[in-house]
A and B are shown apart, each in its own frame.
Chain A
């Protein structure tokens, strides 16, 4: 081996090492905040959703940048499944986005752990629906501004009902028993159509419990009684026993497959419970006009139990170096008709009365019907507050325990006890 080649070898080795170190250093630094783009302030806005939402949001952000030439907004988009992991990791790494989208179940988690800034007085909120706005408060501080609202309601397909010679019920007075009966009739009416599909959504249990005078979350405890949980499971059990809804295994599969594959969306079922903003996707998939209905009631229930749920919230990072700009972006997104005329009802129906008046005519027909429906039931709604920490796990806990009961792995009594202890443990943590 000659000296020349040895020298060359060393040079190559050292250069490789140098390149590797700098490369990894660059990798670590590229996520940095300000700087770079001249005297513009750069803020990051994180959100989740579909491709359609990403396109709309990018458009809205561009509009905001036009109106605020000194601010540069970077949209940080991810799909729903990985959203919270990504967000939590960023918050943990002290690299939290300046403006973050969070839904109601995650609000206490983030606010309670000091990740969010109090937005009271920073984002004008006088024109927003005050009751909905108050759901963005945790311990008296306005950590979150609602993007828009949804209602969990019964959706029905009138033409499927007609085929089985049934009529749409009067949703002002109908009870759970009548709903079950109707579902049975539809299933029995032939045509291979299922009367109903059930879904272990905590929102349904929340409505059902409210009709019995119980709160899902009562402060930092679960306010549900064993009887209520059992009665709620009993509805699904009756449906399954009468073949008015699919068996548990099929239901589980439908749930995993998502709204577009549901019985309602594929015209294989007559009724199902969904969030009102899902009406759009469901109608599109079904190709038929679907009807929004009030949820059935318990006999003699004092209240309908339905509620307006903010589709999601805009929040700002407590550690943001550009909190003024972050507040400005949130202000634009909820208060500016320009933003609303792009985003429309994608993040729920806007609650800002002035904005709503300005964009009402631009809303697609389906959204206009949802708006009319919400207006109609407005007087019957129950106000809601942000659930405690740990609420993010509630859907899983409820689903698991519901499955255990419906698959016959445990008795409703034992299942209800187990649900309560698991749910209480989750929100106590």
Chain B
């Protein structure tokens, strides 16, 4: 091994360049793989292995406590034909994603535009607005939310000043999901930071030219900012759709772990967890995980297909 290594080394230093470069590249690739080996090991043992195992389990009635037996596609069929709560969870999650993602992105874009106008102490504001993104998925915030929007919570105390008697926002089935959507919108920081970066990349000269032509600010936003920002919007959209479909903590903590009241906050992942760990239907839960994967992959695919019609890449045309 050492022999051949030093041999090839001397070749590198020699005259026959093309093959040498080739050999050099190969060796570099090999080196890279050796360095990556620990990560690959983790990927295959900790990630890919269990993923494939869960695919197998999804076709069994594995209960966690005892071995399962093969049941074919039963789990998948049951999900869509007999399980009302599954359909409820799908509905709740879809409403959550469809309402909260656009709101969150709009809010993020609005703030990014405001911050982009050469505000003093920008980095300070950026950090402040980014903070909720770091905290939003946490248990502490979910508990705070429960307190804030309780019957005797701060929010109702404020409403009381104006003579309004608010409901128990988190404990009333009509409003509980709304509070979770609000929580999600509140975590606008991550897309906002990305929008800010995107805004910075739009050449100032475009705006100058537009001003000379007498375009209003609104017109400038519609004709310059928005089109040039579409790749960023697209990126944020894909990311946030995936992220919000997988939301778990908010619903778990705010509802006290059961998706209540009356299943109004029964997120898909929460129901999956309840099936696997509370009802001991791990095979069913595994099947649900695969359906979720297909849903997310499908939506992302649709997103990419649709992007052809509205996303504008400055360098392609």
Q: Report the minimal beta-carbon distance from B287 to chain A, rounded to whole angstroms.
A: 15
Segment at the interface with A among B94-102, B221-229, B258-266, B307-315: B258-266
Instruction: Determine the distance from Cα of A114 to Cα of B63 in the docked complex, in whole angstroms.
Output: 12
In the complex with contacts A13-B34, A16-B38, A409-B173, A24-B45 CB distance below 8 A: yes
Segment at the interface with B among A126-134, A221-229, A235-243, A395-403: A395-403
Interface string of A215-253 (1 = CB under 8 A from B): 000000000000000000000000000000001111011
The residue in chain A whose Cβ has the minimal distance to the Cβ of B274 is A396
In the complex with contacts A109-B65, A399-B258, A253-B151 CB distance below 8 A: yes
Residues of chain A lying within 8 A (CB to CB) of residue B9 = 3, 6
Residues of chain B lying within 8 A (CB to CB) of residue A393 = 278-279
Residues of chain B lying within 8 A (CB to CB) of residue A20 = 38, 41-42
Interfacial residues of chain A within 380-429, with CB under 8 A of chain B in the complex: 390, 392-393, 396, 399-400, 403-404, 407, 409, 426, 429
Instruction: Determine the distance from Cα of A352 to Cα of B292 in the docked complex, in whole angstroms.
Output: 52
Query: Could you say which of A10, A114, A256 contacts B66, with CB atoms under 8 Å apart?
Result: A114
When the two chains form their complex, are residues B279 and A429 in contact, meaning their CB atoms are under 8 A apart? yes
Residues of chain B lying within 8 A (CB to CB) of residue A77 = none
Segment at the interface with A among B119-127, B164-172, B188-196: B164-172
In the complex with contacts A20-B41, A109-B280, A407-B173, A253-B35 CB distance below 8 A: no
B281 at the A/B interface (Cβ < 8 Å)? yes
The residue in chain B whose Cβ has the minimal distance to the Cβ of A392 is B278
The residue in chain A whose Cβ has the minimal distance to the Cβ of B34 is A13
Query: Could you say which of B63, B150, B281 contacts A113, with CB atoms under 8 Å apart?
Result: B63
The residue in chain B whose Cβ has the minimal distance to the Cβ of A401 is B262
When the two chains form their complex, are residues A426 and B171 in contact, meaning their CB atoms are under 8 A apart? no
Interface string of B249-262 (1 = CB under 8 A from A): 00000001110111
B184 at the A/B interface (Cβ < 8 Å)? no
When the two chains form their complex, are residues A250 and B171 in contact, meaning their CB atoms are under 8 A apart? yes
From A6, A17, A256, name the one whose CB has the most chain B CB atoms within 10 angstroms: A256
Sorting the interface of chain A by its residue count into under 10, 10 to 19, 20 to 34 or 35 or more gives 35 or more
Interface string of B138-156 (1 = CB under 8 A from A): 0000000010001100000
When the two chains form their complex, are residues B65 and A3 in contact, meaning their CB atoms are under 8 A apart? no
When the two chains form their complex, are residues B65 and A88 in contact, meaning their CB atoms are under 8 A apart? yes
When the two chains form their complex, are residues A399 and B260 in contact, meaning their CB atoms are under 8 A apart? yes
Instruction: Determine the distance from Cα of A24 to Cα of B42 in the docked complex, in whole angstroms.
Output: 9
A174 at the A/B interface (Cβ < 8 Å)? no
From A84, A252, A403, A409, name the one whose CB has the most chain B CB atoms within 10 angstroms: A252
Instruction: Determine the distance from Cα of A429 to Cα of B279 in the docked complex, in whole angstroms.
Output: 9
Residues of chain B lying within 8 A (CB to CB) of residue A429 = 279, 281
Query: Could you say which of A24, A249, A392, A403 contacts B151, with CB atoms under 8 Å apart?
Result: A249
Interface string of A245-277 (1 = CB under 8 A from B): 001111011011000000000000000000000
Number of A-B contacts (CB under 8 A): 104
A14 at the A/B interface (Cβ < 8 Å)? yes
When the two chains form their complex, are residues A256 and B279 in contact, meaning their CB atoms are under 8 A apart? no
Instruction: Determine the distance from Cα of A49 to Cα of B162 in the docked complex, in whole angstroms.
Output: 44
Q: Report the minimal beta-carbon distance from A256 to chain B, rounded to whole angstroms.
A: 4
Interfacial residues of chain A within 79-113, with CB under 8 A of chain B in the complex: 81, 84-85, 88-89, 91-92, 109-110, 113
Q: Report the minimal beta-carbon distance from B35 to chain A, rounded to whole angstroms.
A: 5
Residues of chain A lying within 8 A (CB to CB) of residue B150 = 253
Instruction: Determine the distance from Cα of A253 to Cα of B261 in the docked complex, in whole angstroms.
Output: 10
When the two chains form their complex, are residues B5 and A6 in contact, meaning their CB atoms are under 8 A apart? yes
Instruction: Determine the distance from Cα of A9 to Cα of B45 in the docked complex, in whole angstroms.
Output: 25
Residues of chain A lying within 8 A (CB to CB) of residue B171 = 248-250, 252-253, 256
Residues of chain B lying within 8 A (CB to CB) of residue A110 = 65
Residues of chain A lying within 8 A (CB to CB) of residue B262 = 400, 403-404, 407, 409
Residues of chain B lying within 8 A (CB to CB) of residue A396 = 258, 274, 278
A115 at the A/B interface (Cβ < 8 Å)? yes
Residues of chain B lying within 8 A (CB to CB) of residue A89 = 64
Q: Report the minimal beta-carbon distance from B168 to chain A, rounded to whole angstroms.
A: 3
Instruction: Determine the distance from Cα of A115 to Cα of B63 in the docked complex, in whole angstroms.
Output: 12
Residues of chain A lying within 8 A (CB to CB) of residue B280 = 88, 109
Q: Report the minimal beta-carbon distance from B178 to chain A, rounded to whole angstroms.
A: 14
In the complex with contacts A3-B6, A109-B280, A114-B66, A403-B41 CB distance below 8 A: no
Q: Report the minimal beta-carbon distance from B50 to chain A, rounded to whole angstroms.
A: 13
Contacts A/B (CB < 8 Å), 6 sampled: A13-B37, A24-B45, A113-B65, A114-B65, A403-B261, A407-B261
Q: What 4 new A-B contacts, CB under 8 Å, besides A88-B64, A114-B65, A409-B262?
A: A10-B34, A16-B35, A252-B260, A393-B278
Ranked 6 nearest A-B pairs via Cβ: A249-B168, A20-B38, A256-B256, A252-B171, A113-B65, A249-B171
> Which residue numbers of A lie inside 8 Å of B, CB to CB?
3, 6, 9-10, 13-14, 16-17, 20-21, 24, 81, 84-85, 88-89, 91-92, 109-110, 113-115, 247-250, 252-253, 255-256, 390, 392-393, 396, 399-400, 403-404, 407, 409, 426, 429
